[in-house]
Structure 1
Amino acid sequence: AKMCVKNRRLDVASVCLGNMGHARGAKALREALKEPELDARVAVLAIQLGLYEDAERLFKNCKRYDLLNEFYQNRGQWLKALQTA
Structure 2
Amino acid sequence: MIVYAIILGIIGSYLYRHQQRPFLLFNPTNNPALQELLRIGGFALILMALIAFVIAWTHVVLLIGLILLLGCLSTTFVLLALLHFLPK
TM above 0.5, yes or no, is no
When normalised by structure 1's length, the TM-score is 0.36
Q: Which has the higher contact order (CA 8 A, sep 6+)?
A: 2
User: Which TM-score applies when normalising by structure 2?
Assistant: 0.35
Of structures 1 and 2, the larger Rg is shown by 2
